Homo-oligomer: A and B are copies of this chain.
């Protein structure tokens, strides 16, 4: 694996050098993990000017004792700072300054103002430049190993959800169902949930990111769940809505079919070269035309990977076009205050049409199940 991480760092280094900085300091944990294979808590990565032999991972003395990730780049030099050695970012900047770099690119969208000032104070000879979202952009297109991790994460997620559907739901609280789903994710091999599991019943159903409450599942409810596994750091997401009990009401069937049509339209728009905003519009338009334009979420989906919500954003004002091998969610929903609603969410990988079109990772049925 080491060559994968070294190649990623080389690509970033080229970009930094082209922008005028021979050295770069990476502090955002997902970016550190992407470039080093692992991110011990608080660790920062310093990319030096001379190529791979200059790169170093600076770890705070680890009172937490977290084991370093299994897929870590073993060839990368690691320095563990002494106990109470202070901020590793400051130590890294000092080292770059000593090594005679004249410009250090830092992540201004991650470093706090206070931390940035601390760096500037210890590096009188160094110009601090902004790395911007360079690593986030590099992370957007995934390689097949990354997609394999996402595929396993999705399999685990489908399994956990499938088991829940076989159990008795009426009378149980949102909070307990969410905990049970998270336990099942781990049972099936997840490192943990990819994000806090959401279970929403009755009037809560269909709200994105609903935090589970003590409300119990009742006959006639819509039930929406949103969960995902974290597998080797890679996070996927699935959202489904069900009806509880006998026969769905007419309004439930109509609303479900509408959201399903919107979600399908979004999925079908996932082709390399499509604008982010075009995918959003494809799904949004269906809901808008049915009179639900107000109150929709600001985006219809987003990238996933080492973070559960990363670039690209599928939103009305988003600039940019999809590439092949970009995994995204498509997750439109409608929530009617006081009544509940529907949300359907899949994780897919954008693929060329010749390769079969978008690859659906989360394969749990999207029929309206009455449980």
Contacts and interface: CB of A to CB of B under 8 A. Distances in A.
A335 interface: yes
Interface of A: 41, 61, 63-67, 83-84, 108-117, 130, 175-176, 179, 182-183, 186, 207-211, 213, 295-299, 315-317, 335
Contact of A113 (B112, B182, B213): B112
B84 A316 contact: yes
B298 A83 contact: yes
A200 to B, nearest CB: 8
A342 to B, nearest CB: 13
Contacts of A108: 112-114, 117
A208 B60 CA distance: 14
Given A64-B209, A317-B84, A335-B65, A175 B186 contact: yes
Nearest to A60: B298
A84 B315 contact: yes
Given A67-B211, A179-B179, A179-B183, 9 more contacts: A63-B209, A63-B299, A84-B316, A84-B317, A108-B112, A113-B113, A113-B130, A179-B186, A183-B183
Contacts of A208: 63-65
Nearest to A115: B109
19 contacts: A41-B209, A63-B208, A63-B209, A63-B299, A65-B207, A65-B208, A66-B211, A67-B211, A83-B297, A83-B298, A84-B315, A109-B114, A110-B112, A111-B112, A111-B113, A113-B116, A114-B130, A176-B186, A179-B182
A297 B63 contact: yes
Contacts of A183: 176, 179, 183
Contact of A66 (B66, B83, B116, B209): B209
A64 to B, nearest CB: 3
Contacts of A109: 112-115
Contacts of A117: 108
A67 B182 contact: no
A83 B315 CA distance: 11
Task: Kindly name the residue among A209, A213, A299 whose own CB sees the greatest number of chain B CB atoms within 10 A.
Answer: A209
Closest 7 CB pairs of A and B: A64-B209, A65-B207, A63-B297, A108-B113, A109-B114, A84-B298, A108-B114
A297 B61 CA distance: 8
Given A66-B211, A113-B116, A83 B296 contact: yes
Task: Kindly name the residue among A110, A112, A209, A299 whose own CB sees the greatest number of chain B CB atoms within 10 A.
Answer: A112
A139 to B, nearest CB: 18
Contacts of A61: 298
